[in-house]
Amino acid sequence: MKQPPLSNPYESLRISNQLCFPLYACSKELIRKYRKPLESLHLTYTQYVVMMVLWEFGNMTEGELGLKVHLDSGTLTPLLKRLEKQGLLTRTRASQNERKLLLQLTESGYQLREKALDVPKSMQGCIPLSHEELIQLKKLLDKALTNMEEEKMSIYDFTVKTGKGGELNLSDYKGKVIMVVNTATGCGFTPQYAPIEQMYKDYHDQGLEILDIPCNQFGAQAPGTDDEIHEFCTVHFNTTFPQMKKADVNGENELPLYTYLKAQKGFEGFNAHPYKELLESMFAKADPEWDKKPDIKWNFTKFIVDREGNVVARFEPTADMKDVENCVKALL
């Protein structure tokens, strides 16, 4: 008796791969078709999608908007800054939690909605499917996106090298509040080692962990070996938190951990500080688009991760260390 052919265990993967190109091609074609009707609104397709969500749901935080449009802050923040510059919305600190940015449409933003009513009319029939088929397709894509986001990488999937050459799995820090900071020994912000150490002493027993990652990319201000850096910190600041191996946080050789962190929290500007104008002037000369990129700008940039593994805040080196401490305390 002839045996039935064995099922291919990779069949579902093969089908998924075959779906990738038509989905990609379809999205490219849709964006191309939207380009002309959106020209009069002076919006890109992604900006239009963001505005549609705000027109439908009204004021919300940047985090809530990111969940609705499936964009991380590294992509969403520069986009919102451009919409703010166009006068279509404002971004302000929420009164209850100053780390949350509240988005509010301006009068111009609301007025644009009336002009945008013509866009769906001009795009009617651009996808040759019935209304019922479109609804079903949307449900399937929403389900796929939700499942993919649930399986996406978390901070606990990363490892970093310790200053002694060992390996630290961030999964060891599950359930802890984590501060990740790129440090340097010869920087104007180097004295921040002292309040960071004080925070470690005050809150480590309550669940705070600190990842100190020395980096020599900013003004070559961490030139020493790992041992030399460790000796400097312990002698001058009596540091007791663990020091990681010196590494890059931007560019080709950046730690994968930093690729992830920057995607979660982009650059939102420097705080009022004596070095603010100097830093802004220096970066503007090198790159007119510097403030639209999520790259680490300077030494002592801090990322705060809550007990669930969410990257909840990014503090530039110009931020008041009291604000950093308050953020950490609120999460413990």
| CA–CA separation, 115 and 113 (whole Å) | 5
Is 187 an active-site residue? Answer: yes
Which residue spans of the chain are classified as CATH 3.40.30.10?
Answer: 155-331
How many Å apart are CA 314 and CA 310, to the nearest integer? Answer: 12
Per-residue pLDDT of the chain (332 residues; tens, 9 = 90+): 455 554 555 666 677 777 888 888 888 888 888 888 899 899 999 999 999 999 988 888 887 888 788 887 778 888 999 999 999 999 987 654 455 678 999 999 999 998 888 887 777 777 788 888 888 888 888 888 777 766 677 899 999 999 988 999 999 999 999 999 999 999 999 999 999 999 999 999 999 999 999 999 999 999 999 999 999 999 999 999 999 999 999 988 899 999 999 988 989 899 999 999 999 999 999 888 898 888 999 999 999 999 999 999 999 999 999 999 999 999 99
- Name which of 278, 317, 37, 308 is nearest 156 in CA terms: 308
User: Which tokens in the block code for residue 53?
Assistant: 């969500």
User: Six-digit token pair at 89?
Assistant: 């919305």
- Architecture of the structural domain at 11-150: Orthogonal Bundle (1.10)
For residue 45, the surrounding DSSP H or E stretch is helix 45-57
Q: Is 283 helix (H, G, I), strand (E, B) or coil?
A: helix
Q: Where in the chain is the domain with CATH 1.10.10.10?
A: 11-150
What CATH superfamily classification does 155-331 receive? Glutaredoxin (3.40.30.10)
Please state the pTM of the whole predicted model. 0.64
Catalytic residue among 20, 26, 126, 187: 187
Contact 103, 294 (CB under 8 A): no
Q: Per-residue DSSP letters for 136-204?
A: HHHHHHHHHHHHHHHTS--GGG-EEEBTTS-EEEGGGGTTSEEEEEEE-SSSTTGGGHHHHHHHHHHHG
